[in-house]
Structure 1
Amino acid sequence: MKIIHVVYSLEMGGAEILVAQLCRLQREHGHDVSVIAYSNLGTLGEQLLAEGIPVLVLGEASLPRTFIRFIGEFRRLRPDVVHCHNPAPTLQAAIPARLAGARSVLATRHSLVAPPYEKGAEISFNLVARFCDWVVGICDATCENLRHTSGAPRNRIVRVYNGVDPVIPVAAAEQPAKTGLTLLFVGRLAPVKSLPTLIRAVAIAVSRVPDLHLWLVGHGAERPQLDELVSELEIEDHITFWGERLNVAGFFSAADIYCMSSTSEGVPMSLLQAMSVGLPSVVTDVGGMAEVVKNSNAGLTTPVGDAAAMAEAIVQLASDPERRAFHAENARAAYWKHFTLECVDASYMELYQRRR
């Protein structure tokens, strides 16, 4: 089967990591896989090219010109499947894929698609989505949100949970040095992650867990403000910013609890990676993230924006090794049953071959 994944770019991000890993697995299974990116190559694109997986960058242009270029590429490559990831690639490539004769066209929404909706944008997406065989939401919450948008093709919306390659634990000598109990966050330092809530929670919790530390792995525009907040709260000795890292296995191997304080979230790759190594989690009660943690009994959830509640949850787990172990075992078991890359690939393969 010839499969083309269409993305905005292959910069480091949850959806992009999933696409890159799907490309590798689908190639291992004997499929002819490639990627078309609209904007730029990115770190993950460079990795795929180095591994021999074709990646074409179209370059940004007007929508009519982009349509024409996609039609030309699809007619040249003659794919069986065109899999668009997120709204912009769907708007740009779904109709050209259908016009060029692709047998199966899918669109995956990798976010929560939480209200309030941008009505015009969702109407545009839903009109184009009628050229797709399936519109995939990455959790039940995403699917439910999609069904409530104006003009949604409700009978085409299906759920496929995200999956990810497991983190392979590394030896202690390869892990970052640590003392005490370590919390971990891996992701973009972006407003939607609400990291001030997590940092304030740590500032509250250290009064009861003095050896508590938080590792933040990732980069983003919020870094200067977060530095200021850490200084203001006088908890510099309890917070470490590690920047963006391609290899995060050492951090997951060394940490004790995984934390996310997002205000909106689908099913983050980093949460699934944490589950794969048996890390219990403290996350905000939002979207697919809370859905996964609750259904798996893999940790605790707290209200969005409530630093005191998050601090209490952190203290509960930090102070109770048996409870951490209970949630850790549940997390590991749920990952291997539902959230491996093989699980998500099998679901997509079934959709690729099940046309409407």
Structure 2
Amino acid sequence: MHMKICHVVYSLEMGGAEVLVAQLCRIQRAHGHDVSVCAYSKLGPIGEQLQADGFAIFVPGEAHPARTMFRYLEHFRKLRPDVVHCHNPAPTLQAALSARLSGASRVLATRHSLVAPPYDKGAEIKFSIFARFCDWVTGVCETTSNNLRHAPLAATSRIVTVYNGVSPVERVVDNARTHDDFTLLFIGRIAVIKDLPTMLRAVAIAVEKIPHLKLWVVGDGPVRGYLEALATQLGIGVNVRFWGQQMDTARFYNAADAFIMSSASEGVPMSLLQAMSLGLPAVLTDVGGMGEVLRLSQSGLLSPVGDAPAMANSIVRLASDASLRAEFSKRACASYEEYFTLAKMDAAYMDLYQSRRS
């Protein structure tokens, strides 16, 4: 069944949700659907690439909420989409009602974060109200969906789980590190919620036992300067390299020995799933969807949020045990294929696009 599908996002800057939307666009078009995107505030590098690939991108621009809703209504009336898929709260508030008024057959909202309590009550009430114009509200993991069900005024009958999925990372040969290095890889936004200071402190502890330890930080954000200074202060400036934002990350995944994240709150990071597709074992904080994925896959080690010594112990254990890494690698690949492929995620969304609540 051919469908006209429109994804709605806040922007198409670099980010996990934005990467996911771009991948959904490509697989849905490959399956014969007419796919476009609305990006409220700006195009961004992901939007520029989608445009170059022939996707129509509508950027209404920042405006008063009522004006924004009217712009979306005008756009949807011209476009006449079968499906409008809103990603995260702001696009849902901006576009869900307009999509319904325009006659779209299905309207969805996906929450890509953990939506962890304590809730911003006012914000969640607004989301719950506008989510009632959606046929389905999806959480990217069971933890997110359960949190959504307990939020104020939640439309619980509409809430379902669709795990994030990604295209596998291409295997390439990279000689960017020496054979003796044990390289940890972080890929993501350099933001406060990612709690990279805990990661740096864990590396500083682990280096005492694993002197050839390296940490690669791929990404950018407002606290990068502080983190670079902290790495120097901790005496690990030679062990840590900040690579900045990179559009092509395959070579980093291929050159790494393990993936690491220290987030204080997290849904299901796209970068974690990409690492799993290559069989990278993981060192993660036990939070939200991230802990859920690792318990499901049994492909890495968890530590409490903010506990640098515990994370350091995980790093040392993983770096010191080749057989454990090999077992984790095998499990990561198997779990990725079973739960987290782009095809599985797309199939789940297509089922929702074509079904109504009973």
**TM-score bucket of the superposed structures, by smaller chain:** over 0.9
Deviation string, structure 1 residues 290-340 (Cα, Å, up to 9, x no partner): 100111101010000000000000100100000011011100110011101
Q: What's the counterpart of residue 37 of structure 2?
A: 35
Q: What's the counterpart of residue 120 of structure 2?
A: 118
Q: Does 1:217 align with 2:207?
A: no
Deviation string, structure 1 residues 252-297 (Cα, Å, up to 9, x no partner): 0010010000000000000000000000000000000110011110
Query: Hey, what's the Cα distance between the residues in 1 that align with 2:174 and 2:231?
Result: 28
Q: What's the counterpart of residue 355 of structure 1?
A: 356
Q: Which amino acid aligns with 1:233?
A: L
Given that residues 265 and 289 in structure 1 are in contact (C-alpha distance below 8 angstroms), is that contact kept between their aligned partners in structure 2?
yes
Given that residues 176 and 251 in structure 1 are in contact (C-alpha distance below 8 angstroms), is that contact kept between their aligned partners in structure 2?
no
- Shift of the 177–30 alpha-carbon distance from structure 1 to 2, 3 Å rule, reads farther
3-state DSSP of counterpart to 1:262: coil
Q: What is the RMSD computed on CA atoms of the aligned residues?
A: 0.9
Q: What's the counterpart of residue 4 of structure 1?
A: 6
Query: Hey, what's the Cα distance between the residues in 1 that align with 2:240 and 2:53?
Result: 36
Q: What's the counterpart of residue 151 of structure 1?
A: 153
Q: Which amino acid aligns with 1:329?
A: K
Q: What stretches of structure 1 of length at least 5 have no aligned partner?
A: none
1:73 to 72, 75, 83: 75
- Shift of the 103–129 alpha-carbon distance from structure 1 to 2, 3 Å rule, reads same
Query: Hey, what's the Cα distance between the residues in 2 that align with 1:107 and 1:178?
Result: 46
Q: What's the counterpart of residue 198 of structure 1?
A: 199
Measured after TM superposition, the shift of residue 52 of structure 1 is: 0.3
Measured after TM superposition, the shift of residue 178 of structure 1 is: 6.5
Measured after TM superposition, the shift of residue 223 of structure 1 is: 0.9
Query: Hey, what's the Cα distance between the residues in 2 that align with 1:219 and 1:179?
Result: 28
Query: Hey, what's the Cα distance between the residues in 2 that align with 1:85 and 1:245?
Result: 23
Measured after TM superposition, the shift of residue 169 of structure 1 is: 1.3
Q: Which amino acid aligns with 1:53?
A: F
3-state DSSP of counterpart to 2:36: strand
Q: Which amino acid aligns with 2:15?
A: G
Deviation string, structure 1 residues 228-262 (Cα, Å, up to 9, x no partner): 11111111111111111101111100100100000
Query: Hey, what's the Cα distance between the residues in 1 that align with 2:333 and 2:104?
Result: 38
Q: What's the counterpart of residue 239 of structure 2?
A: 238
Q: What's the counterpart of residue 169 of structure 1?
A: 171
Measured after TM superposition, the shift of residue 355 of structure 1 is: 1.6
The number of equivalent residue pairs is: 355
Query: Hey, what's the Cα distance between the residues in 2 that align with 1:192 and 1:338?
Result: 26
Matches of residues 40-189 of structure 1 in structure 2 within 5 Å? 40-173=42-175, 175=176, 179-189=180-190
Measured after TM superposition, the shift of residue 63 of structure 1 is: 1.1
TM normalised by structure 2 equals 0.98
Given that residues 263 and 286 in structure 1 are in contact (C-alpha distance below 8 angstroms), is that contact kept between their aligned partners in structure 2?
yes
Measured after TM superposition, the shift of residue 67 of structure 1 is: 1.2
Q: Does 1:294 align with 2:295?
A: yes
Q: Which amino acid aligns with 1:58?
A: P
Among the aligned pairs, what percent are the same residue? 62
Measured after TM superposition, the shift of residue 179 of structure 1 is: 4.5
Query: Hey, what's the Cα distance between the residues in 1 that align with 2:146 and 2:317?
Result: 32
Query: Hey, what's the Cα distance between the residues in 2 that align with 1:70 and 1:221?
Result: 31
Query: Hey, what's the Cα distance between the residues in 1 that align with 2:203 and 2:65?
Result: 46
Q: Which amino acid aligns with 2:75?
A: E
Q: What's the counterpart of residue 265 of structure 2?
A: 264
Q: What stretches of structure 2 of length at least 5 have no aligned partner?
A: none
Q: Which amino acid aligns with 2:56?
A: P
Deviation string, structure 1 residues 152-185 (Cα, Å, up to 9, x no partner): 0001000000001110011135x56674110100
Query: Hey, what's the Cα distance between the residues in 1 that align with 2:77 and 2:190?
Result: 40
Q: Does 1:22 align with 2:12?
A: no
